[in-house]
Amino acid sequence: MRIPLLRLVPCLLLPGWFAACSLPSAPSLRPALVTTVPVRFLLTFDDGPSGAATDNSTSLILDTLARNRWQNDIKAIFFVQTRNHNGGGTDIGRQLLERMQREGHLLALHTALWRGHVDHTYLPLAELDRMLEDGAEDIRRISGAAPRFIRPPYWHYNATTLARYEAHGFRLLLDDITIRDGKVRGITANPRARGRIRAELNKVAQRIQDAAIPQVSGYIPLVMTMHDTNPTTARDLENYLGMLIEEAQQAGLTVPLQPFIAPVAEVIRVASVRAQRPVLEQAMHVLAYR
């Protein structure tokens, strides 16, 4: 491409202009289409609710799910800590659990210990069983039904904990996509969120090509994990939703006009399909950043 000389001269002669001058960019190539079957996203949140009296991250996330520029009234699964001393065990936390239920989200169990986010694989069996009973009862009191799904702290589980989950009526639900926002102490900014979403969706595209993700009702459901106790996630959630849509399209996936799964009955149906028992040989599932 030839650039007129008069357009080049200011860039070369005047300090500070060169950075602002650039050649016209080439048109972006359309990504190869992986599948014509649309993908939809099931949003899940771990660790909450927040017990903060001000600037409550869980409350802001609920606000954003209800109203945003991509799709209003998105329903999510919240894997909650029902008795955490600075979360679900506080008055504010209990009110947020009730709000989740009232606004049509699905309550699922993370843990039900006063001391909070404790690795289930380290609990004595009697304490693990008691915790599962307490958590189920806490959620049943709010929702009127026994919880169906569980996701353990740190995503650590083994053959023994899996067996106890199943004995108490829980099914383990993991995910396809994460932005690794689980750490909330210190710096909570997540400047690599888009890159992580892109990398995860490229892996998802390969799994779809390999027919490794089942279809539900004519679409392919993709489970995404975030953490509602992270203030950065709460502030940037609307942007993350847009990144999901844009990066899915760039990965060659078909995204419908309603990309996020709702209502709660559909959330339950999708989660039931995706909550499949992991192979016990790979039972120690350790994802350090979740």
Q: Return the structure tokens found at 282.
A: 């790979």
In angstroms, the CA 170 to CA 187 distance is 34
- Determine contact, residues 105/139, Cβ cutoff 8 Å: no
Note down pLDDT in tens along the chain; length 290 residues.
443 433 333 333 333 332 333 344 444 555 789 889 999 999 999 999 999 999 999 999 999 999 999 999 999 999 999 999 999 999 999 999 999 999 999 999 999 999 988 999 999 999 999 999 999 999 999 999 999 999 999 989 999 999 999 999 999 999 999 998 876 666 667 888 999 999 999 999 999 999 999 999 999 999 999 999 999 999 999 999 999 999 999 999 999 999 999 999 999 999 999 997 654 334 344 343 34
Pairing of strands 220-227, 39-46: parallel
Any idea which residue has 């990144």 for tokens?
A: 243
Domain boundaries, the chain: 31-282
- In angstroms, rounded to a whole number, what is the distance separating the alpha carbons of residues 115 and 86? 9
Question: Rounded to an integer, what distance in angstroms lies between the CA atom of residue 157 and that of residue 164?
Answer: 11
What type of residue sits at position 103?
Answer: E
Structure tokens at 136: 């189920």
Question: Class of the 31-282 domain?
Answer: alpha beta
